Chains A and B, each alone.
Chain A
Amino acid sequence: MDNKFILEMNHIEKDFFGNQVLKDVSIKVKPGEIVALIGENGAGKSTIMNILFGMPAIHQTGGFKGEVIINGEKVDIKSPIEAMKHGIGMVHQEFMLIDGYDVAENVKLNRENLKKTPLSLIFGKRLNLVDQASMHKDARTTLDSLGIDLGEQTRVGSLPVGYKQFVEIARELDKQNTRLIVLDEPTAVLTESEAETFLSCVRSVAEKGIAFIFISHKLDEVKNNSHHVFVLRDGEMVGDYHTKELNTIRMSELMVGRKVEILNRQMEDEDPSHQEICLELEHFGVSMPGEIARDITLQVKKGEIFGIGGLAGHGKISIANGIMGLYPSRGQVKINGKIMDVTRTDDTLDAGVAFVSEDRRGSGLMLDESIELNIAIAALKTKNRFVIKRLGIPFYDKKGAIKYAEKMIQELDIRCTGHSQPVRSLSGGNQQKVCIARALTLDPDILFVSEPTRGIDIGAKKMILDSLMKLNKEKGVTVIITSSELAELRSVCNRIAIVTEGRIAGILSSTDEDYKFGMLMSGAKYEEPGAAQGGDRPQDAAAAQGGDWPQDAAAAQGGDWPQDAAAAQEGGRPQNTAAAQEGGRPQNTAAAQGGGQSGDVAPARETERTVKE
């Protein structure tokens, strides 16, 4: 019976200095099974994995109670290296790859195939030669077994994010004894189509008998890919189910412990007073590395929640950044009918625009400063709020700021030890709330929010989206949300613009059918001229939706872009990767076929109109 499981963790308990973080948690994994581990941030998922890997942090804090059984044998893993010996591998959320090495070298990292040389016979194995040829051959075999078409000689630095993940998994598989692989939020950095390709690869590997522990926040993925689900909440195991028995709504209920209402905004009827335009972009282009916007023309109505969606790398992120003057831009921006010079961030802020950056830990927060300062600073700079004059000198009114910060901490439910806690030690969701609190302090007319829920658990996600909707409803703030998660945009936005290849592919209402979004995201509108010219493409564009489309659609997609433009858009990566980012298409198609047609934007515009109609 015992041998049936490849891994058993029985009755695991762990406390950090008396603070119980795991209470009687048991996990069992069979060979070839994909087991999902879900839970909100702080539910104890990473602690369990740290125990499994024998991370020093566990032993330094007094070890844990319970037993770990691998292949029927009770083991005591004291370090990650021992875990590796037991056949447990990990695919990290942040990539542990060396950019300057090629794929094969990364796969074989620290386990290189060696060749003896006369020197090494004398001086020992440190002077062995690395056997490049056999390494590349081995890596090729492993990559083939994964079913990915990825050159083993490509330098890792030039690969798109999705493919780096494959290299990581190939590395684990290349170790002969690997029997269990832990995936820590593997799809967090991938676009939807990349994620799908990745997960299908995981499924095929699992069929060969390798087990996976899959940690994710994305419940759809869990539902579609795992066999078994363990749900953790506050360190307790609250669910141990076959995936078949659950649907995503039930999963989120278990995780959060309360009913999750599906966000749905009441759509108001088209009210003429809502037709006033507050933001107008004309031929707006932003050169933000990796996210270039080329020619964005759109209008946002006053008082609406406007979504900007699209795949990663297509330029949706750069719109807000460009308007805030953080990257060089061209074209025209009108706010409330007034033409703005967006390079002057001051003026833009004065015009009532606020911005919550997608780069939360970078340009979004001062990580080592207190919550209170992070909230107050924007208003201090732009609105002269929290200023107290002493002897005519404008001093920072810390007391006022603290009072205000405490109010915001309550209102937005920021979980912290107090207003003076440095934001670095807050969780992602709470950091995001601080960012939003800061933006609110400006009393904006237009609020740009970029990737508001990236890396945030479900409870906080809902809270954040709710507060954005509340802001829109109660104060009439125009909210412009940029997000990679279409479902999220559709749950809160009135209209959603899809940005593809730096242009607006189309603007849809959130009630429009799924396939329309899929079409626009996959650049389907550009297919029209392609179809006119080639005519060999299946008319059923819905096929394009899942990112899993026929090859000739890829041709149309790369269609009216000159080769170099496609390459430039990906920030100078080789052409084929631009196509590859769409997920799992054979590398050569876009490169080979993209060049076949020349840039042709005018017909594209016509089709934009047709899509709208």
Chain B
Amino acid sequence: MNRLKQAVDYLGVSRTVVIGFLLVLILSVFPLGINPGMIYSDCLVRIGMNGFLVLAMMISIVCGAGLNFGLPIGILCGLFGGSIAVQFNWSGLAGFWGACLVSVPFAIAAGWLYALLLNNVKGSEMTVGNYMAFSIVSLMSIAWLVLPYSNPKIVWPITGVGLRTTMTLEENYDKVLDNFLKIDFRAMGILQDNPYWKDFSLSTGLLLVFAAGCLLMWLFMKTRAGVIMRCSGVNPGFSRTLGVNNNRVRTIGIIASTVIAAIGINIYSQSYGFYQFYSAPLMMAFPAMAAILIGGATPRKAGVFNVVLGVILFQSLLTLATPVANAVINAGSISEVVRIIVQNGIILYALTKIRANGGK
């Protein structure tokens, strides 16, 4: 009982409620006749897909720039790298990492410029970042049209100019990470006589990459530079008295956030199977934000624990809520409506928690 109380104190009441709700959803799958193996696998995939974007959110909070509403800037850099990879028909694991690698220099440059902007608008990073992202997404929409892409697979079929809105990765690196060391019960013939678990699969590679990202971030937070960055983010006035150059720390943090977002979108897309251009990156920051806030972060303080807990809670809720709602209220296209309500509801909930009670 005491340990339980400790755990609740540590997590905060609202987070405990969210966890409780998630447990209800997880268990309700069985009586509702939804295939648990399949839906749980989906949850895990979604966690792996989104994990990096949430990590990008974290480093931006840690360095003192608050929630990174400018996440789409990094995402656009990642898409640009990806489009180059597809243009030249890179494929397989090497192709995927190549795409990431190509994205990085662009992300560094964009992150640096973005940091210059944010350092001049201290205190309103979130608003400015939001509109900055909106503008850049529109600007890049023009770029997608005019850049000299020539691979017929990715340009508009009739005119032959400009990228298509979605670009399939089937012949490139569709699910390369998901399939890396994948444990697939059906293919491997495990538990095939069990109706609940026969469709379960574990996207080992994807989760390994996320775990590695978390581990690296965790290690970074333990280094001298990480501790100083945290200090600068938590109390910039204090770190100034220590002779910390807050602007420099923020610049580094924002560049890191942009780079991680660029890699994150590549991971996301390879699992999704498509790159999506034009207005698709517009809203990509919000689920990541909701996840880290639900994980217990505040706009001043965040840790790897918040990232992991948040992404698990948010993505599982999102994945589970739709089919469960569908099964409970049996009405045609309710699922899409429910998905929107759930996702935005969670974001709204998380954002209202920003100031109150230090995020608990």
Q: How far is the CB of A423 from chain B (nearest CB, A)?
A: 11
Q: Which residues of B contact A366 (CB under 8 A)?
A: 231, 234-235, 238
* A362 touches B (CB below 8 Å): yes
Decide yes or no: A381 and B228 within 8 Å by CB, A355-B241, A368-B301 being known contacts.
Answer: yes
Q: Which residues of A contact B219 (CB under 8 A)?
A: 395
* B31 touches A (CB below 8 Å): no
A-side interface residues, number (CB < 8 Å): 32
A398's nearest neighbour on chain B, judged by CB, is: B222
Please state if A345 and B238 are interface contacts (CB–CB under 8 Å). Answer: no
* B227 touches A (CB below 8 Å): yes
Q: Which residues of B contact A349 (CB under 8 A)?
A: 242-243
Q: Which residues of B contact A463 (CB under 8 A)?
A: none
Q: Which residues of B contact A373 (CB under 8 A)?
A: 227, 231
Query: How does the 8 Å CB contact mask read for B220-255 relative to A, with 1 for contact and 0 for none?
Result: 001111111001001101101111100000000000
Q: How far is the CB of A179 from chain B (nearest CB, A)?
A: 38
* A365 touches B (CB below 8 Å): yes
Decide yes or no: A369 and B234 within 8 Å by CB, A380-B224, A381-B228, A394-B223 being known contacts.
Answer: yes
Query: How does the 8 Å CB contact mask read for B31-57 relative to A, with 1 for contact and 0 for none?
Result: 000000000000000000000000000
A354's nearest neighbour on chain B, judged by CB, is: B241
B227's nearest neighbour on chain A, judged by CB, is: A396
In the complex, A359→B238 CA distance in Å?
Answer: 10
Q: Give the interface SS of chain B, mostly helix, strand, loop or mixed.
A: helix
Please state if B238 and A396 are interface contacts (CB–CB under 8 Å). Answer: no
* A579 touches B (CB below 8 Å): no
Please state if A395 and B224 are interface contacts (CB–CB under 8 Å). Answer: yes
Please state if B224 and A396 are interface contacts (CB–CB under 8 Å). Answer: yes
In the complex, A349→B227 CA distance in Å?
Answer: 19
* A377 touches B (CB below 8 Å): yes
In the complex, A380→B234 CA distance in Å?
Answer: 16
Please state if A394 and B241 are interface contacts (CB–CB under 8 Å). Answer: no
Q: How far is the CB of A196 from chain B (nearest CB, A)?
A: 33
- How many CB-defined contacts (below 8 Å) exist between A and B? 69
* A110 touches B (CB below 8 Å): no
Query: How does the 8 Å CB contact mask read for A341-379 relative to B, with 1 for contact and 0 for none?
Result: 000111011000001010100111111110001000110
Kindly identify which residue among A346, A363, A377 contacts B237, using a CB–CB cutoff of 8 Å: A363
* B105 touches A (CB below 8 Å): no
Q: Which residues of A contact B222 (CB under 8 A)?
A: 395-396, 398
With a 10 A CB-CB cut-off, give which of A355, A362, A363, A364 has the most chain B CB atoms: A363
Please state if B241 and A357 are interface contacts (CB–CB under 8 Å). Answer: yes
Please state if A395 and B235 are interface contacts (CB–CB under 8 Å). Answer: no
* A201 touches B (CB below 8 Å): no
* B358 touches A (CB below 8 Å): yes
In the complex, A611→B140 CA distance in Å?
Answer: 72
Please state if B240 and A364 are interface contacts (CB–CB under 8 Å). Answer: no
Please state if A368 and B231 are interface contacts (CB–CB under 8 Å). Answer: no
In the complex, A378→B231 CA distance in Å?
Answer: 10
Q: Which residues of B contact A393 (CB under 8 A)?
A: 223
Q: How far is the CB of A431 from chain B (nearest CB, A)?
A: 13
Q: Which residues of B contact A344 (CB under 8 A)?
A: 243
In the complex, A395→B223 CA distance in Å?
Answer: 4
* A382 touches B (CB below 8 Å): yes
A-B contact pairs, 14 of them (CB 8 A): A345-B243, A346-B243, A349-B243, A357-B241, A362-B237, A363-B237, A368-B301, A369-B234, A377-B228, A381-B244, A382-B242, A395-B223, A396-B222, A396-B227
Other than A345-B240, A395-B222, give 17 A-B pairs with Cβ distance below 8 A.
A324-B241, A348-B243, A359-B237, A363-B237, A365-B235, A373-B227, A377-B228, A377-B231, A380-B224, A381-B228, A381-B243, A381-B244, A387-B224, A394-B224, A395-B219, A396-B222, A398-B222
